[in-house]
Structure 1
Amino acid sequence: MLTKLTDILGVSADELFGVNAAKSKAAAAKPNGRARQMFEAVSKLPRRQQEKIFDILQPFVTQQTAGKT
């Protein structure tokens, strides 16, 4: 019965009982949707292209971070 439940929910028995709660929280902190897909795609690009993308994104991230302090 437990095996069926874990299969249906797509989690392990440990996760079901909260044993891996820390891992679940870490997974929840990862970007979702388009952001996650974009960062996964960027991570596969050559390092030089990644650096160009980071140079474009950094001012936006810095501005957003500065606004939260």
Structure 2
Amino acid sequence: MKTFCADKGISQATFFNWRKRYLNRRVNNSSFIELIPSAPDVEVPQSTGCLFAEFRGIRIYQPVSAAYLKALIS
């Protein structure tokens, strides 16, 4: 305890005072509320093809090679 108080720059009396004050304190959990995230809006492409992949706003409507994708994002 002595080392902890010395590291934090407080006296042992101060530590025990705060410990006594907060040790038996009850926590009110009712201040928390459940957050339910809403689903993001999904934009449907106007073309007739199916979306194959999308990355940072780049949409690809047909299969491509990994090398092509790598070159596209670099």
Same fold flag (TM > 0.5): no
Larger Rg: 2
Structure (1 or 2) with the greater helix fraction: 1
More strand by share: 2
Provide TM-score, normalisation by structure 1: 0.25
Given the two structures, how large is their TM-score scaled by the length of structure 2? 0.23
